[in-house]
Structure formats: C-alpha cells, structure tokens
Structure 1
Amino acid sequence: MTAPRRVPAEPELAPLMRCYGYRFTRTGTVTGAAQSRDPEDVAAVERLGWPVRTTERWTPSEVLERSVVAARVLDEDAVLAAFVAGLGSAPRGRQTAVSYGWARFLDAAPKAEGGLPDCGLARSGGGDHEVDVTEVLLRLALGWSWNEQPERYLPDLEAAAAEGLPRPGNGDRERLGALLDVIGAQPAGTRPGELERVIAREKILPGTDKYQRYGILVGLAELGVLPSTVLAPSWDGFVPVSERWAAGRKARGGPRSDITVPLAGWRGGIDERRARRLREV
C-alpha cells in the first residue's frame, strides 16, 4: 500500500496523530504522546488511504529523478506564497521553500562519484532510502520543516506538484511583516537562538514550538532573506553537501551549534530586496 501524494486534510489529522504519537495541546502547539496501537485507529486511517508505519524504498537515483520532475511542475512565486501561508493559515507551506530550493538546480548540478550530484542522496555502501511517507506528510501538515535528509523532500515535492500549494490567508501577510520587522530590529551579532527566543516572546507565530520556529528561520535563510556569513542560500544555486559540511564546521561554537547552515551563520541583518519579494507574492 503506497501513501497518497497529498498532505493530510484536517479531518484526517486526529487519527493519524494518534497513530504516530502526537497530540495538540490546549495552546494549539503539537506535543508527543504515546503511539496508538488500537486496531480501530489503524483501520480508520488505512480506510482513508494512509498506510501506518510502513516504509517505501527508493534508490538515490530514483529520489533525484522524481524530485527533478516534481520541481519542474512548481512555480517559484507559488512556493514563496506557500511559505507566507505557512506562517499561520497553512503550516504545510513552510517546508516547500527548502525542498524546492534543493531540487530546482539538481538537473544541471555537476555529477560526482556514482553519477549523482553532491546533493546528500548518496548512501554509504550504495544503499537505498527507506521513508515512511505517511509520517513525512503528517509532519508537513503539522508545520515542522528542516533542511536535512533530502530524501524526505520528495513526498513534499510530489504532493505540491499533485495538489498545488496553499495561498496566504487572513493575517498571513501581516504576520510576515511583523516577523520581518522583529528580525530587522535585532542588533548586529545576534545569533539564531537569540532570535528564536525574541520571536517566541513576541507571540507573532501562534501555535508554533521552538523547533517549528527554527524551521521557519531555516526557510528564510535558504531563501536568502536571512543572510548567512558562511554559506550561500539554496534559492540561488546548487549547494554541494561538502560545502554545507565545511560551512557547518565554521559556524560551530555558538550556544546552539546544532542549528543547521545557512541559518547557523546568521549574525543579524536582513536582505531587504529578498524580503520585499516575499512581501509581494
């Protein structure tokens, strides 16, 4: 049974969350919970077409080829608009800026050993990727995003290509403006961890936890809105994984050294041209 290439709709979230060990808190954030093994929960989810705790197996070349095909369907402005929607009305929109930024230049990227670009898909010993697509798509719907494990970008890209992406709703553009204003007001030398805490105090991204806020900031860094001192944004061109590793070593040593590059290399400031583009989509 193969998971559908779409993001779970609102009525599907509750049983899926129970099966994968998540629940909503009273404040609207998502927290961990015991995974439901109730056969009725599993059966209800599978009746909706979602295999539970089942992995799909893909070769690195397959992930590459399918990602390139899906990215070709997507429109740059639609991806940017989805990111804005992801700040509030449609959390699903947050990840695609990262996924699309990674995939959009793959076709022309120089090939490395084994015929793949240095894009993070090669496996030690030439193994395949195993991905629980249902869980990946559920986490998209719940608003988590990050820029690691690029094989997990494929369900996002294929779902976006198949069903389209959300447009900003009521309050999303105002929320973007408030977020950019807060970022722009931070003094030079501010680190990402300090920025996340300011955003949390300002309560401009309701229903988000710390990791969801970091995911949003990662998206802004990959878009180049948050300029990095150590790595170019993926939105501008193909970034080899070897360059990411080298940049990550340069950025280490801060209070949150596990934050990924390019965000880890941000030390204050905002790219006004890119921010204006995001405001206008």
Structure 2
Amino acid sequence: MTVAPRRIPTEPELGPLMRCYGYRFTRTGTVVGASRSQDPEDVAEAERLGWPVGAVERWTPLDVLDRCVAAADALDENAVLAAFVAGLGSAPRGRQTVISYAWARHLRTAVREPDGLPDCGLATTDGGVHEVDVTEALLRLALGWAWNELPQQYLPDLEAAAGQGLPHPVGDDRERLAALLDIIAAQPAGTRPSELEKVIARAKIVPGTDKYQRYGILIGLAELGVLPSTVLDPMWDRFIPARERWAAGRRVPGSPRSDITVPLAGWRGGIEERRARRLREI
C-alpha cells in the first residue's frame, strides 16, 4: 500500500486546524481547549491546505508494527536526540519523536507472540484495527504534546520524521536544556514527578507549555534514562514488553497519579549524568 508522505502542520496552517479540532492559543502562548468550529469555511480552508479534517485511517496492528520499524530504520538517533532539544524551545514538534523512536528501535528483534506481534501494546482485544485521525495526531505534535501510551499514535510521528526530517536546535534551545537538567539535578532525593513539574512550571524554563506538555518532556527524559526510574528500564535501552510495563506501574512507590506513566512515575530524584551529558553535547 502506498502511503502519502506525512508532514507536520506549519505555523500558517495552525489557525484553521486548531479551530476545527477545538484548540486555541492564550495570551501567554499556551494551548487550551475550545469549542470545535462549526464554520464550514474553516474545514474547507484546512482541506485546501491539504489537511482532511476528521478523516480516520484504519491500520491493522501488523501494519503499524511494520511501518513503524521501517520509519525508525530511516532515522538517525543523534537527529532524534537533537530534535528533542529543539522541542524545548524552537520546535515543540521535536518532543515526541524520542519516545516514538525509543519504542520502535528494538521492535525488529523483539520476540513475537503467536499472533505475529511482539508484546508491544498494539494487539487489540477483538482482533480489530486501530483507527486514528492522522490530521489531529500531527496537529498535536506541532503543538507540543508528547506521551508514551497508545503506540499506534507513534506511526504518524515516525513517518513524518522519516519523510520530512526533524528540527535542529537553534537559538537558546540548548540553554533551555541546560537549565532544565540543572533544576532536575538540584532536586532532593525523594522528589516526585508531580513536584518536579511544578518546579519547572515556576521556573518558566519552557514557556507556552501546560502541565501535560511538561509531563511529556519529562517522560521523554525518563524513556532516555536521563531520569532514572525505580521501577522500569527506559525504552531507549531495550524492548519493554507491555506486560512488564503494566507490572512496573503496579510497583510504583506510594500512590501514583494516573496521569503520570512509567517509567517517569517511578522517578524519585536524581539524574543519570552520562546520558544527560550526551544530550548537552548533541
């Protein structure tokens, strides 16, 4: 099957897309939910720009697996790390790919189950397909949300990264990374991820972010192993079966928040200096 090239919406395209999908910018530059536009002209403008609104694509789990592996094979890990650094300032789109790539990079050699899939989170309970509104998925990437659940959502990210390329750090992106890592390293042992997020918010290191965008950045650092977890290895290092991930979630000390996923949920302070240094030097 021929797949149309993926790309991330450009700034001039964000207006009609955000209105169609119910997002708006505040005066401080953060993105908040809003009513979805009922104006057919907004839909027509989005589609004129090449963005079908509400057009769901349907993929079998094996399709997602094979296409993610192919896209990840086309990426360079240093480019992925550099994009994450750019994601702290000039290019919010760069935040997710480090998570998507970490998940996909070990799939080729992962042991497969009888259904032909590794235990990677793609299997459906009824043997059905994954349904994804790709336009909305790519819009959310452009707006800077990142997460490490629902791996079918990694496919548009990886295909856009492989086909369009990834952003490079510019301006003060590296200074933001340095400030972020310094603040993390300064937190006392026992600090929880929710406490760390509040410290980062007060420091205004990554402007224009909401709580969940800041969690996405921290999840990326945890999946790289920069934020060491007490319960689970980072995906960057090896294939993590879904069963292992679920079991790790049950081992998180204390009462984990449902909106903080492992391995980040298992962080209790500290930073892995060798991995942090690689990001600083990228």
| Cα shift at 1:256 | 2.5
Contact preservation (8 Å) 1:4, 1:50? no
The CA deviation at 1:68 is 0.3
Q: Which residue of 1 aligns with 2:230?
A: 229
Asked if the contact 2:256/2:265 (under 8 Å) is kept, the reply is: no
Equivalent residue runs for 1:45-84 within 5 Å: 45-84=46-85
Between 243-252 and 218-227, report the one with greater CA deviation. Answer: 243-252
Separation of aligned partners in 2, 1:3 and 1:258: 33
Q: Separation in 1 of the partners of 2:57 and 2:96?
A: 20
Aligned to 1:245: 246
Aligned Cα root-mean-square deviation (Å): 1.1
Of 12-21 and 248-257, more deviation after overlay is shown by 248-257
CA shift digits 1:84-133 (9 cap, x unpaired):
00001000000000000000000100001301000000000111000000
Find the counterpart in structure 2 of residue 278 from structure 1: 279
CA-CA distance at 1:41 after TM superposition: 0.5
| Alpha-carbon distance between aligned partners in 2 of 1:177 and 1:192, rounded to the nearest angstrom | 19
Distance (whole Å) between structure 2 residues aligned to residue 113 and residue 251 of structure 1: 30
Match of 1:269? 270
Distance 2:64 2:189 in 1: 40
Q: Which consecutive unaligned segments of at least 5 residues does structure 1 have?
A: none
1:219-275 deviation per Cα after TM superposition (whole angstroms, max 9, x unaligned): 000000000000000000100000000000111643624310000000000000000
Q: Would the aligned equivalents of 1:193 and 1:255 in 2 still touch at CA under 8 Å?
A: no
Give structure 2 stretches of 5+ with no counterpart: none
Summarize the Cα distance change of 1:35–1:3 in structure 2 as closer, same or farther, 3 Å threshold.
farther
Q: Is the 8 A contact 2:72 2:158 kept in 1?
A: yes
Change (3 A) 1:257 1:57: closer
Once the two structures are superposed, residues 55-109 of structure 1 have per-residue CA deviations (whole angstroms, 9 ceiling, x without a partner) of 0000000000000000000000000000000001000000000000000000100
- In the TM superposition, what are the counterparts of 1:129-144 in structure 2 within 5 Å? 129-144=130-145
Whether contact under 8 Å (2:82, 2:167) holds in the other structure is yes
In 2, Cα distance between the equivalents of 1:112 and 1:157?
Answer: 24
- Does structure 2 conserve the Cα–Cα contact (< 8 Å) formed by 1:79 and 1:96? yes
The residue aligned with 2:40 is 39
Alpha carbons 1:3, 1:50 under 8 Å: kept: no
CA distance in 1, matches of 2:122, 2:257: 26
Instruction: Provide the rounded CA distance (Å) in 1 between the counterparts of 2:231 and 2:113.
Output: 23
> Could you tell me whether the CA contact under 8 Å between 1:251 and 1:257 is conserved in 2?
no
- Relative to the length of structure 2, the TM-score reads 0.98
- For residues 205 and 56 of structure 2, the distance between their equivalents in structure 1, rounded to whole angstroms, comes to 36
Aligned pairs, number: 280
User: Hey, what's the Cα distance between the residues in 2 that align with 1:252 and 1:24?
Assistant: 37
Aligned residue for 2:9?
Answer: 8
Identical counterparts, % of pairs: 76
Contact 1:86 1:143 in 2 (8 A): yes
Cα distance change, pair 93–7 in 1 and its aligned pair in 2 (3 A): same
Is 1:85 aligned with 2:86? yes
Residue deviations 1:199-227, cap 9 Å, x none?
Answer: 01111111101000000000000000000
Matched AA of 2:133: D
| TM-score (norm: length of structure 1) | 0.98
Q: Aligned partners of 1:81, 1:108: CA distance in 2, in Å? A: 25
Counterpart Cα distance in 1 of 2:260 and 2:40: 38
| Counterpart residue number, 1:212 | 213
